[in-house]
Structures are given as structure tokens and as C-alpha cells.
Amino acid sequence: DTGVSQNPRHKITKRGQNVTFRCDPISEHNRLYWYRQTLGQGPEFLTYFQNEAQLEKSRLLSDRFSAERPKGSFSTLEIQRTEQGDSAMYLCASSLGLAGGIDEQFFGPGTRLTVL
Amino acid sequence: DAKTTQPNSMESNEEEPVHLPCNHSTISGTDYIHWYRQLPSQGPEYVIHGLTSNVNNRMASLAIAEDRKSSTLILHRATLRDAAVYYCILRDIGTASKLTFGTGTRLQVTL
């Protein structure tokens, strides 16, 4: 299977704990995106990388959130001192980075975070 | 980003065509119209995109109004597997970054 993979698929944690999620994009894709989705809402953009460079961060990405993409391959999203409001599905997507507004994004299955 | 408006939900019978509307009255000349869908418990997946002309692919057709202020995603024969949330998204021709999702249209398909 050469699609986008995310691990873990589910994470339950207690408030105040740190969590880290991993995303493995499609191998030839330059761009990698993180989105967050809460129940009944569409996904909301968090951040994206062009290779290893983080090019845009949403205002939703508070100081407790950090994302990395070392060597331009897999990416990790870490949430420090989790809060109950962080409970959501965290989606990763990757794309070739084509210009012209035609760049198709391929999404992973997501990591569902529950903060107790 | 220019805004899109979609009905919250629609229903269809299996094997019948479905027309999912999207209004985007503030669309700019450099915005592509994209459609993604999200099946239950899955990440979104690309369906189709267009700029000015109508488009067809193996999944669906996209009909774009002449003034580009609205578009319609057409599923020619809905199946139970097409039950999903469908998102209409505008993307500027000069940028290839984030997708801005609304709340989409939840399509129910019944036997």
C-alpha cells in the first residue's frame, strides 16, 4: 500500500500529558499537510511543509503544538500539555506540490485523539 | 479565501443521479473549483476540479455555471458507497497549499 499512513490511529491521554503523532506521506510527494477535524465540522488547516521547510502555520497552531519534517520524509505533530479541547481527528495529507491550484492532496486515515 | 455555500444534507435513491450544488458568488478569476469527499471514518479524498469548462472523470462530472458563481457535482448513478460528506473548495491558481473546507453536504443514499 503506497498511500499516506498515520500512527497511531487512536490515542487516549489524560489532560496535561504530551502526545506525538506520526505521518508517512506518499514517497515522491514534496508537500505534507496537517489538518484537525472536530465532530460535524470540515477539516481545518494547521500547517504544511515543502520538503523539510515549514512554510505556513495556522493561528490554530498554538505554542503547545509543534510539527517537524526532518529530511523531508515523515512528519511528526506533537501536542504538549494536552487540553480537552484538543480532542479531535488529526489528519495528514501529502501532495506533489504542483503549481496552479491543481495540486491534489492525498489524505491519511487520521489519528483520533481523546483527552480525558 | 472566497467562500462557498452548500446545503447541509441531501438524499438520493441508489442507482439514481445526484446533483450536489455549490454557490461561490465571490469567486475570483484565478480560483479553481475543487470537490473532495469524506467517507465515514476516512480522510477526505479528491473527486474532481475545474476552472471554467465542465469536467468529467471516472468518479463524477462537474458542471460550472457560465458566470462561475455556482457549480454542480454530478454523480451519475449513486451507490451506497457514495454516501459521504462532499466539500466544494475554491483554490487560487497561484497557490498550491492549504485546502479550506466548509461543512459540506452530507449525502445519504438509500435502497
Provide DSSP, B87-111. Answer: EEEEEETT----------EEEEEE-
- pLDDT above 90 for A98: no
**How many A-B residue pairs are in contact by the CB < 8 A criterion?**
73
CB contact under 8 A, B96 and A102: yes
The pLDDT mean for chain B works out to 94
CA atoms of A19 and A55, how far apart (whole Å): 23
The one-letter amino acid code at A93 reads A
pLDDT of residue A100: 65
The one-letter amino acid code at A52 reads E
The predicted-structure confidence for A21-66, as pLDDT tens digits, reads as follows: 999 999 999 999 999 999 999 999 999 999 999 999 999 889 999 9
Q: Does B101 touch chain A (CB under 8 A)?
A: yes
Hey, what's the cell of B80?
Answer: 451506497
Count of helix runs (H) and strand runs (E) in chain B: 0, 9
The predicted-structure confidence for B96-109, as pLDDT tens digits, reads as follows: 578 999 999 999 99
- pLDDT above 80 for B1: no
pLDDT of residue A54: 94
pLDDT of residue A60: 84
- pLDDT above 60 for A68: yes
Residue bearing cell 469548462:
B53
Least Cα distance to A74 among A94, A91, A59 occurs for A94
